[in-house]
């Protein structure tokens, strides 16, 4: 059986290992302690004093010290639907996510590649996981373009599949591959 022989020759010797990890956060930050004041100011809700106090207590009780966002006050001013209660804002949020998710993935991947210390040409696979995959071509393709990777690279896009990524990693790393895995969590974006 030629198929079994080919598969056997592809198997690597030794255990799979993580060669590097890269992390990236959205560029705009805000201290948790100042977030309630900002939020109620931009949403024109400062008259809701009791609700603001409740939100301040919630922010004080969390272990979060700093929040990361891709949006800034200018984006909120340009898109009033993002700061108005019950205003339809899905299209705007998706537009922002489609643009920003690959950029964050590329920033994290660049850090991981630098830590790894090998040329990008040695990467054979890109596995990109996100909980927000609403565009075609997907974030895996955008990441491939942003990083200038080899066009022959194998790309895999997992949407809402954190466990699938781990399962795929453990099974695919049995062959001599150098995978670049990206994972974004858009709840931190918007």
Summarised one tens digit per residue, pLDDT across range 92-144 is 988 988 899 899 999 999 999 999 999 998 888 888 887 777 778 888 889 98
Strands 125-130 and 28-31, sheet pairing: unpaired
Measured between alpha carbons, how far is 55 from 59 in angstroms, rounded to an integer? 6
pLDDT band for 190, please (50, 70, 90 cuts).
very low
Share of the chain above pLDDT 90, in %: 29
Residue 146 has pLDDT above 80, yes or no: yes
Name the packing angle between helices 35-42 and 49-61 (round to 10°).
150
The verdict on pTM exceeding 0.75 is: no
CB 151 within 8 A of CB 111: no
Q: What is the pLDDT of residue 126?
A: 84
Q: What is the pLDDT of residue 153?
A: 86
Q: What is the pLDDT of residue 5?
A: 53
Q: What is the pLDDT of residue 48?
A: 93
Strands 28-31 and 66-69, sheet pairing: antiparallel
Higher-confidence residue of 174 and 67: namely 67
pLDDT band for 189, please (50, 70, 90 cuts).
very low
Residue 89: CB partners within 8 Å, gap ≥ 6? 79, 81, 82
CB 163 within 8 A of CB 129: no
Domains of the chain: 2-25+101-188 (3.40.47.10)
Mean of per-residue pLDDT scores for the chain? 80
Q: Which residue has the tokens 């565009």?
A: 135
pLDDT band for 29, please (50, 70, 90 cuts).
very high
Q: Which long-range contacts (CB under 8 A, 24 or more apart) does 81-89 make?
A: 82/190, 83/42, 83/43, 83/44, 84/43, 85/43
Measured between alpha carbons, how far is 163 from 144 in angstroms, rounded to an integer? 22
Tens digits of residue pLDDT in 45-63: 999 999 999 999 999 998 8
């Amino acid at each position: 059986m030629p198929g079994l022989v080919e598969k056997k020759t592809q198997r690597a010797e030794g255990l799979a290992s993580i060669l590097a990890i890269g992390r990236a956060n959205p560029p705009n930050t805000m201290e948790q302690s100042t977030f309630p004041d900002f939020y109620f100011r931009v949403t024109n809700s400062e008259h809701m004093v009791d609700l603001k106090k409740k939100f301040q207590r919630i922010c004080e009780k969390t272990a979060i010290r700093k929040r990361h966002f891709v949006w800034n006050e200018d984006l909120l001013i340009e898109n009033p639907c993002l700061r108005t209660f019950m205003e339809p804002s899905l299209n705007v949020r998706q537009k922002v996510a489609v643009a920003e998710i690959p950029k964050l993935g590329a920033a994290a991947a660049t850090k991981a590649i630098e830590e790894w210390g090998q040329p990008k040409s040695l990467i054979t696979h890109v596995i990109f996981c996100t909980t927000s995959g609403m565009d075609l071509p997907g974030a895996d393709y955008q990441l491939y373009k942003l990083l200038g990777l080899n066009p022959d690279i194998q790309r895999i896009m997992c949407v809402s599949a954190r466990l699938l990524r781990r399962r795929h990693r453990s099974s695919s790393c049995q062959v001599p591959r150098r995978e670049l895995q990206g994972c974004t969590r858009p709840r931190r974006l918007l």
